[in-house]
Structure 1
Amino acid sequence: MARTTPHDRPHTDERPLYWRIATELLGELSDGTIPPGERLPGERQLAEHFGVSRETVRQALEVLRRDGLVATDRRGSHATLPGPPVENLTSLAFPVGARRAADPRAVDRATVTWETPPPEHAAALGLAPHRPTLMHRYESASADGRGLRRAVTSFSAVALAEVEQLARYRDRADGTASAQLRRAYDWMRKAGLTLHHRDAITRLPDSPSVRVTRLVHDQYERPLEVTDLVVDAQGDALVYEFTLPAAV
């Protein structure tokens, strides 16, 4: 008998909630949001991510386990889908300023919303006034509350039209569930986009903080995203690098 996966079932509104969550999680496993072999977030984090209960997440994971798509051991659950080795993401972290090796005691939060961006973002992305788009908010601080970083990103209509993984977030962009988009630049490359950026760095008056404004566009000069990052630069280093060809 052929093995059945969530994608093999016909789409119907009568599907149990846990089956729909299993299908969404399988999509994230397949597109590399969670790379092959990497440990999945805990049930609590997945529940927050999908906006459901831990019991629903538990049932969804069981569906994927039965199909051999997820394995669980004493260290947790991990994806077992075949795939190429995970790329070195040193230059791919999103948003600009995101911590590379997070302190396990640090507080990191990222969410997405569907709303009207700030006027300067709309102008940079070529969006009509009052037109909503996908926005990402990132905040990180060390365990003692120092080194605070806040980033606000707006994505363009081009990015949402051409990068499937980003477009998927529209339906759950309610500003509550966790939404880590660390692989956003990698998704853009795999969509055939060559990424270029322009960064403007300014020190905020009467403050130890600096502001970094990043505008990313593709090989056709179409804007893809704009990010405003504010960093408490006191005793903290901000290091980033960029120039990524499209994936072949």
Structure 2
Amino acid sequence: MARTTPHDHPLDEEPPRLRPRYRQVASELLDGLRDGSVPPGERLPGERRLAERFGVSRDTVRQALELLRRGGLVATDRRGSHAALPGPPVEHLSPLTFPVGARAADPAAVDRSTVTWQAPPVEHATALGLAPHRPTLMHHYESFAADGTGLRTAVTSFSAVALAEVDELGRYRERADGTAAAQLGRAYDWMRRAGLALHHRDAITRLPDRPSVRVTRLVHDQYARPLEITELVVDARQDTLVYEFTQPAAG
């Protein structure tokens, strides 16, 4: 039996015109894994999206994914399938942190993140162009020091555009019960990978009668469509907000 490496696959030895349809789909997915279109560890689109993309049934997609799984190129868990092909780390990550105000990894801090499916505040619905009382995906973030100080809370509402065009966000709707931990730290990278350019506006306001500040971030895409709005409240007595920007060199 011929021996294969992580970058070789039996599909390479088979003429494309002789492949069954599921093997053709597997071959095209394999090309995406190799050229970095789907970086290592990145989630693949759901079966329905893949079926629509290739014009095949979901059974055909399942057969294609199973072929790649047997070759160790794709791994599947309860959240879907992701690329397992070894390769370089994902490059050009978004410099924006989600949600705005989220702390860097700090073992001394307590962080909680959950998602819900509910009607957002009126101000969020207006900013996102949502009809009144229409539910959407909301992300809730809370962080504080071990002694309870330095509290910061952030509430994010996503637009219908974001949920329709960003597969990773759309998948959270079925799990948005407000109890399970939600890992949306790469939300902006998912948006960019979906072809959305990100334009954000951050407004900082000191809250009256409270030693706190509020940061409101509104993110649009290149078509001026709103994608998300986040409101962060920080206890300004104990904490400091740091914004870091990088200006690319000319030429």
User: TM-score normalized by structure 2?
Assistant: 0.64
1:201 aligned partner: 204
Count of residues in correspondence between the two structures: 180
Structure 1 residues 183-216: Cα deviation after superposition (integer angstroms, max 9, x where no partner): 0001001111110011111111122110011100
Residue equivalent to 1:234:
237
Kindly tell me: are residues 129 and 85 of structure 1, through their superposed partners in 2, closer, same or farther at Cα, counting changes over 3 Å?
Answer: same
Give the CA deviation at 1:84. 3.4
2:176 to 152, 173, 195: 173
Deviation of 1:148 after TM superposition, in Å, equals 0.7
Q: Are 2:133 and 1:130 aligned?
A: yes
Larger Rg: 2
What does residue 53 of structure 2 align with?
A: none
What's the CA shift for 1:233?
A: 1.5
Taking every aligned residue pair, what percent have the same amino acid on both sides?
74
Rounded to whole Å, the distance in 1 between the matches of 2:121 and 2:244 is 26
Aligned to 1:94: 98
Q: Secondary structure at the match of 1:168?
A: helix
Cα shift readout 1:113-157 (whole Å, capped 9, x = no counterpart): 000000110000000111100000000011111111100000000
> How far apart are the structure 2 equivalents of 1:83 and 1:146?
41
- What is the rounded CA distance, in whole Å, between the counterparts of 1:217 and 1:135 in structure 2? 17
Q: Flag structure 1 segments of 5+ consecutive residues without an equivalent.
A: 9-27, 33-63, 71-78, 244-248
Aligned to 1:82: 86
Task: Structure 2: give runs of 5+ residues left out of the alignment.
Answer: 2-8, 11-21, 23-39, 45-68, 76-82, 247-251
Deviation at 1:29, TM superposition (A): 3.7
1:30 corresponds, among 23, 42, 50, to 42
Post-superposition CA distance 1:21-54 (Å, at most 9, x none) = xxxxxxx94329xxxxxxxxxxxxxxxxxxxxxx
Counterpart of 2:152? Answer: 149
1:211 maps to 214
How far has the Cα of 1:90 moved from its partner?
Answer: 7.3
Cα pair 2:94 2:188 within 8 Å, conserved: no
More divergent stretch after superposition (198-207 vs 234-243): 234-243
After the TM superposition, which residues 62-73 of structure 1 pair with which residues of structure 2 at under 5 Å, given as runs? none
Residues 112 and 175, structure 1, Cα contact 8 Å, conserved in 2: yes
Q: What do you get for the CA RMSD once the two structures are aligned?
A: 2.9
Point out 4+ residue stretches in structure 1 off by more than 6 angstroms. Answer: none
Q: Which AA in structure 1 matches 2:169? A: L
Task: Give the whole-Å Cα distance in 2 for the aligned partners of 1:242 and 1:115.
Answer: 34
Q: CA deviation at 1:242?
A: 6.7
Q: Say which SS state the counterpart of residue 184 (structure 2) adopts.
A: coil
Contact 2:72 2:84 in 1 (8 A): no
- Could you state the TM-score of these two structures normalised by the residue count of structure 1? 0.65
